[in-house]
Amino acid sequence: MSGDLNGLIKAQAYGLGFDLVGLTTLGPVDTATANDEWLARGFAGDMEYLHRGAGKRRDTTLPFAGAISAIVVGLDYGGRAPPGPVARYARGDDYHDVMERKLGELHEWIEAAVGHDVAGKPYVDTGPILERDLARRAGLGWFGKNTNLIHPKLGSFFFIGALLIDLDVAPDPPFEADRCGTCTRCIDACPTEALVEPRVLDANRCISYLTIEAKGEIPEEFRQSTGSLIYGCDICQDVCPWNVRFAREPKVPEFAPRTVLASNDARTIAQTILAMDDDQFREAFKGSPMKRAKLRGLKRNAAVVLGNIG
């Protein structure tokens, strides 16, 4: 593929609304060993699905025959929005749907540009590949001590997606620098001490895991630490100096808070959730990432929050 077409692909991706775009070559994954060690230490909690598809996590050419390259994108979701009981990423429509649709449009455009079918597969946190690793290799940022990918002019409040294709593209240089320096604000700020060491997160202690992925009761030792957080947590991102300086105002209409979350008030939202039946839940959270916790999980979280705030 010519360098000119590489540039056109990037221009098209930006035209579709993505904030970051980088190209990289598929192959053995740099962080695969670290990921295996993280799983072996039990830090994935009950997320058994993270143990599946190990081969694809170690080699990104394996998702489909002929996969050669990846177009890696970032889509900002608005780190300047006020903090609240629901993590910023989950207040609007499901980012999986929004980004997969955009990546599908990009795929169609590439096929039209080259004049033939191009095998491709989009990933948005939807399969056993390490998108964060691909993003670093594509030059989109470094791994922060809070484990998030951080871009030097955008911070970390963005989604990562990748379109794997069977075209040979000229890769962008990887992001080699570590710009966290001696800063440990994210580690120090975590109320449950989930960041057990720089760039190592114990999901069993993480408020995002406890309020979204965990299926049982929130352990009593962590209930008070969840404070007024009903779904997810942004604390380790909020305190990051790169977000303090570079986080942006929300701009994607699909990510605007839905009606049930419009108040951004923990007591109001918790009481509303506790009063819901299944039909009301499906109506209020249709197309929302918050459906992942199911109504019983949200009611569990709401009860804990009301206990904390009195």
Task: Point out the residues that are catalytic.
Answer: 125
Structure tokens at 229: 């957080």
CA proximity to 218, closest of 272, 285, 309, 299: 299
CA proximity to 268, closest of 106, 85, 52, 41: 85
Distance of alpha carbon 220 from alpha carbon 192, whole angstroms: 12
In degrees and rounded to multiples of 5, residue 215 shows phi and psi of -95, -25
Distance of alpha carbon 48 from alpha carbon 69, whole angstroms: 28
Residue position matching structure tokens 């598929």: 26
